[in-house]
Amino acid sequence: MAGNREEAPDYGRGVVIMDDWPGYDLSLFTYPQHYYGDLAYVLIPHGIIVDRIERLAKDIMKDIGYCDIMVLCVLKGGYKFCADLVEHLKNISRNSDGYVSMKVDFIRLKSYRNDQSMDEMQIIGGDDLSTLAGKNILIVEDVVGTGRTMKALLSSIEKYKPNMIKVASLLVKRTPRSDGFRPDSHMCDQ
């Protein structure tokens, strides 16, 4: 008979890095020489990141369905993650019966001035947000911290009545200041 099993915690769709995780030893990896002496360990190996982004793309296509998507990439940190995610989404679309049209636009969010949080968030760049009306929106962000900035962005976009809004994030920080916001898809809790 099997021993006493504890219920596994529900981590949603992401990988969880526990606070006491020591990381992987650097001797297991190759990395550029200019990082020698600066790194102590590897938290998330590149292969895991690539695999999780591919999984996120599959989950997003399952959630959104095979319909046109307007991707809003939150700069600056979200650029590489967004490019990789969009490439996986395109591969899924190419290898399916239905074609998904994707348009990518870039925005910057400014919620801090001189390291102080501002009451209002500024959206910089991107097309006129009124063009989002009736569209399926995928917001791609690198890190969700407290969630306040993302909630403010969602509130701004919802005014234009898009058909659907989904949020994908590479990382979600565990922080006591969190307001409980969770992206629809994310790679990792840290």
What's residue 22's pLDDT? Answer: 92
What's residue 125's pLDDT? Answer: 81
Give pTM, 2 decimals: 0.81
What's residue 74's pLDDT? Answer: 92
What's the mean pLDDT in 140-152?
Answer: 84
What's the mean pLDDT in 10-38?
Answer: 84
What's the mean pLDDT in 114-121?
Answer: 64
Per-residue b or e along 126-165, where b marks 16 or more CB atoms closer than 10 Å to that residue's CB: beebeebeebbbbbbbbebbbbbbbebbeebbeeeebeeb
| pLDDT above 80: residue 145 | no
What's residue 120's pLDDT? Answer: 72
Rg of the chain on CA atoms, in Å:
18
